Amino acid sequence: MQKTFNYLLIFTFLFCFIYSASFSQEADSISSKFPLKKKYFLHSFDSVKTLIPVQIINEINFAKQTPDRLNKQGMILRGISLSTNTDLTINSAFRLDLSGKLSDNIDVIASLTDQNTPIQPQGNTQSLREIDNVFISIKSPSFKTTFGDLYYSNTIADGISINRKVQGGIFEYQEQSDKTKVVGIVAANRGLFHSNIITPIEGVQGPYKLYGKNNSKYIIVIAGSEKIYLDGAIIKRGEQNDYIIDYSTGEIIFTSKKLITNYSRIVIDFEYSERNYFRSLYGIGFESSLSNNLNINTSYHREEDDVNSTTDFILTDEDKVLLSTSNDSLIGKSGIYIVGIDSLTGLGKGDYVKIDTLIEKKNFTYYLFLQRSKESIFTIRFTFLGKLQGDYDKISSLEYRFVGIKKGSYLPIILIPKPSKNEIISIQSKYKLNETSDLSVSYQGTRFNENTFGNPNGIEGSNILFNGKTENNNLEIGKYELGKISFLFSGKYKGKNFAEIDRTEDPDYSRKWNLLQEKSNSTSNEISVFYFPIESLKVGIQKGLNRFTSDKFGDYSNYSFNFNKSSIAQITFNRNSINAQERNSFLKSEREDLLLKKEYEYFIPSLLFQHEKNRITQFGNDSLNLGSYYFHKYTPEINIKLSANTTTTISHEYQLDNRSQKGIFEKYSTNNRSQLNLIYSNQHNRFELNSSYRTLNYENNFENHPSDQKLLFYRVQSRVKPVLGIDLDFYGENTQQQGAKYEKRFIEVQRGEGKYRWIDGNKNGSIDFDDERDFEPTRFDGNFNLLILPTENYETINSSKFSWKSKFSLNELLPVLNMAESILKKYSYDLLLRVERKGNNTSLSNYFTSPSLTTRNVLHSNLFAQQQFYFQENNREFNLRYRHLYREGLTSFLGTNEIAFLNEHTLRAQVQLIKEIGFSFEFLKKSDRTIYLILNDKNRMINLQNIISDISYRPEQDIEVGIKMEFGEGIDNSIVNNKTEGITNLQSLRIVSKLFNSGQLRFEFTREEGTINSNVNNYLNDFHLLQGKQIGKTYLLNISADTRLESNLIFSLYYIGRYNSTYSNSTIHTAKMEMRLLF
């Protein structure tokens, strides 16, 4: 399939340029020939490692087109990088953006590149910007083909569609008469469709974790593939809307616009990747109108894992045997490995020791996390199976703790991914009886193979749909018109082995039928009648019956009344009753909604009443089972138009909950929630406030009831320019979420891309990724980075964010009236303030206190303030700037808390002495403190002072010579590093010159020196004390050159030489050369 895709891409790529040459108008042209390498790489299928080689001809002739025919722009880059301590690297990049007409009837749009960016967009905006999308699309009046990164959507029957994000090719053919349409797809599937039903937590906005099939936890959600249904309605992504999502971790947080309660119904459809097998998608669809009244739609689709192409794991022969012989739903092997004892230390190389014990009078073995022990000879890989499905719980990224049989979430096993295949064929016919009536019938057949090793044939299933409707038919008796009437009816048979390739049921299925979905044959029938006596009145009756087995069925009745006339009022009433039986349980639900609403010129009052009762009883017994409930809810609301630019909505919700206890209903809780929404907007200003205050009081007659709650949720955002010269921005948010303590974890990256290097600080000879003592920060050649990750011991916390940004420009505020005001106009001031806090203390006063004063209740806290005073801010002749930075932070880690303080003052002056000479001077004073409550050897209390001067001389416009000098001293007053002093100095000479009339040559030589007056090696503190400089003398030589050899050809050269008298035995050379062609 990969070769097929390569050939198709080559064909379309050549097709574009053949047409661009053959259809160009007669005019002078310029041809530019240049060599390309024989292999290019399009966007990878797995977005991380797999690249697709594409054979391209050695030369391409770019014919110049007239602007209204074909527009193209792009870049080809070739370069090399080499260094003393790294291998030679070939750098290559290609980018082409193409759009326009290949001929009068053929359009093309393309975005091609060989650069792969394995970065998913952030899920905090409504529209995603995927920076690495690669595609080429050619379109004619009857034919369209697209290759690359695509979104495939095909409706195969009423209410059933296939939606996928893929990489491949889509072909579409449609007759100009629109009677026949053919669609085909050959692609690599980026993800697997799955759906989660989320169990909400009262008052908690998130994060809620998404899981794959078999409770797969470590998944990557395909960006933009999610559909989130809250209380049956789909909601919008974005910080300004309803939710945000982290695609890399699969976690969702709802904004304060959508408050989550234990009655919230959350269903999430999404695509995800576990990076197990290369997965393909093939499909073809045919739709044709055989007559003006008859339409036929047929399709075939197949999704399949390639057993010979794995991604992030190796499928061994032993694994294949297990997959071929086991019929278990989960197939796994032991994750316990014996690593033995270190011959030098006599200690075990592993992290776990073996414990034999008796549980319920039976021999049982479990493993205890214990490092650096003689018995620590085991290394174990654990797998998440789901809550109460394992024996261990995760404490940190290294430690898993035994908590009892089936009392945890993890087991010491490795699951072997099962390759699967799913085929679906669909046939639908739709017949139009007249202008208002039609009938449709469809059949879907599936063949699903959960494990292609163990069962090559798969299991077949079927789904049959029947729909009919006649709408807006005039109802007449004699010469009397009695309004209009509509009938809708549907029938459905779903086999127990039918394998859904996408969503086929209502996301609110469980609420609609009061039954849980399960693999069982089911037959459902529904009929709806709507009567419109007048245009503004609608009366409806709906009936439904759903049969699974003789002891599992459900039926519902719904009655609705809707009167809506703006000059009078809006009245909406719905009554719904459901009767269901599931095994020996009887379920009966009653729901009523009444909405009264009246529109006036400046305000709109409304009242919503909701009632719901859900009774669960056993066969032959009227006593209520646990899970039975009923509630009343009253919500008066008023929307007021205060002015042309201002609207506000005020509402109050009162809810009385009753739940079953001892077989009867008893009062459980009382909920009061007040909401205020205010929006003001004009050309220069915007203010938006969404706030909700909720009190939840529980009755004492229920055992183990939650504590009473008082919750304040709000989000306020403003951008105001009250007068010219003043800009104000404010953002504030407070919600309740889940939070956990953090842990530090180092990961290895390519040399030069990291900020840390391994130094074996704990002297055990191995890399301990969770031990800070094993690493030191570095400016050069780092190959480790530090991650701060949350653990899994979640608790309910408050999350607050505040930010304030203001700028005052007196030159815009004050008119020129006299000398005093003229001087004042030269001043400006800006302020930036950010506060963030996550903790389990709900007292509002604590959100403005110092982080160090509330360590007991805070998981994470950060306070940042920056203020700047300017004199003649934009004056190049002379300007002054004073900056004050202040930061406080607290993070609660496993085993310790980290508190950090930073207080920095800088004063900078810039002056142009004469036309050719400029001078700048900067004085810095900084206090840097970090306190670890347990790891005292990492504490630091550093005071720094720095003086920086820079003088530049420009005798001509095309050349500049500069000298920079820096002197600094610092002292560490922490207990461990008592009175440790550090002294730094820096001298730098730079020369910048014009190169070949269109480029620039830069030469810079720098000498740095850092000294420490202590014999104790504290790498972390020394790094901060010397402000990132190394101990000893360091010499740096930077040379860079950029020039245009031709108007569209750019040459770049970079060289860095580095030598340190303390750490280096030789000079480290790094060079990079690039040639960039623009077209």
Task: DSSP for 772-811, please give it.
Answer: GGGEEEEEEEE-EEEEEEE-S--EEEEEEEEEEEEEEEHH
In angstroms, what CA-CA distances link 435 with 177, 506, 648? Answer: 20, 28, 44
Do strands 251-254 and 709-720 pair parallel, antiparallel, or not at all (unpaired)? unpaired
Say whether both 49 and 63 belong to one domain: yes
Say whether both 758 and 840 belong to one domain: no
Q: Which of 668, 687, 720 is the C-terminal boundary of a domain?
A: 720
Is position 467 within any domain? no
Say whether both 110 and 202 belong to one domain: no
In angstroms, what CA-CA distances link 287 with 205, 299, 556, 657, 910? Answer: 44, 8, 35, 52, 73
Say whether both 54 and 73 belong to one domain: yes
pLDDT of residue 129: 55
Number of domains observed in the structure of the chain: 8
Give yes or no for a cis peptide into 207 (omega within 30° of 0): yes
Buried b (16+ CB within 10 A) or exposed e, 80-95: ebebeeeeeeeebebb
State the burial class of residue 1046 (Cβ atoms within 10 Å of its Cβ: 0-12, 13-18, 19+).
exposed
Kindly give the residue spans of alpha helices, DSSP state H, lying in 284-394: 317-325
Say whether both 566 and 641 belong to one domain: no
> How far is residue 19 CA from its own chain's centroid?
41
Residue 1034 CA to residue 1058 CA, distance in Å, equals 7
Per-residue tokens: 669:
């809780």
In angstroms, what CA-CA distances link 95 with 8, 41, 110, 209, 1043? Answer: 19, 11, 10, 37, 21
Residue 136 CA to residue 13 CA, distance in Å, equals 8
Say whether both 972 and 890 belong to one domain: no
pLDDT < 50: residue spans in the chain: 1-67, 816-819, 842-844, 847-848, 851-854
State the residue for tokens 């969503």: 503
Is position 1007 within any domain? yes
State the burial class of residue 794 (Cβ atoms within 10 Å of its Cβ: 0-12, 13-18, 19+).
middle
Residue 525 CA to residue 545 CA, distance in Å, equals 5
> How far is residue 472 CA from its own chain's centroid?
45
Is position 802 within any domain? no
Say whether both 1029 and 1079 belong to one domain: yes
pLDDT of residue 520: 81
Name the residue among 984, 997, 982, 991 with its Cα closest to residue 963. Answer: 991
* Side chain identity, residue 1068: I
* Side chain identity, residue 495: G
Per-residue tokens: 721:
């320019």
Per-residue tokens: 822:
């003229």
DSSP for 683-734 reads: SS-EEEEEEEEEEEEE-TTSTTPPPPEEEEEEEEEEEE--STTEEEEEEEEE
| SS3 assignment, position 958 | coil
> Per DSSP, which regions of 175-250 are E strands?
180-189, 192-198, 208-209, 220-221, 227-230, 233-234, 243-246
Say whether both 1057 and 945 belong to one domain: yes
Q: Which of 908, 933, 963 is the C-terminal boundary of a domain?
A: 908
Is position 68 within any domain? yes
Say whether both 940 and 1031 belong to one domain: yes
Is position 41 within any domain? yes
* Residue 948 host element (H or E): strand 940-956
Say whether both 535 and 574 belong to one domain: yes
* Side chain identity, residue 546: N
Say whether both 994 and 861 belong to one domain: no
Say whether both 22 and 95 belong to one domain: yes
Is position 460 within any domain? no
Name the residue among 259, 264, 202, 243 with its Cα closest to residue 713. Answer: 259
In angstroms, what CA-CA distances link 691 with 432, 652, 840, 876? Answer: 50, 12, 20, 47
Angle of CA points 459, 462, 463, to nearest 5°: 150
pLDDT of residue 9: 38
* Side chain identity, residue 240: Q
> Per DSSP, which regions of 583-724 are E strands?
585-597, 603-618, 629-641, 646-661, 664-681, 686-698, 709-720
Task: Give the strand order in the sheet containing 251-254.
Answer: 208-209, 251-254, 243-246
Is position 151 within any domain? no
Please give the torsion angle defined by the CA atoms of residues 222, 227, 230 and 236, in that order, rounded to the nearest 10 degrees.
Answer: 90
Asked if 211 contacts 196 with a C-beta cutoff of 8 angstroms, the reply is yes
Q: Specify the DSSP class assigned to residue 847.
A: G
> Per DSSP, which regions of 34-159 are E strands?
39-42, 52-55, 70-83, 86-101, 107-113, 135-139, 143-157
Is position 285 within any domain? no
pLDDT of residue 39: 39
In angstroms, what CA-CA distances link 542 with 334, 614, 1074? Answer: 55, 20, 70
Name the residue among 889, 913, 974 with its Cα closest to residue 939. Answer: 974
pLDDT of residue 236: 92
Measured between alpha carbons, how far apart are the two ends of the chain, in Å?
Answer: 32
pLDDT of residue 70: 72
Q: Which of 77, 112, 144 is the C-terminal boundary of a domain?
A: 144
Domain that holds residue 831: 808-908
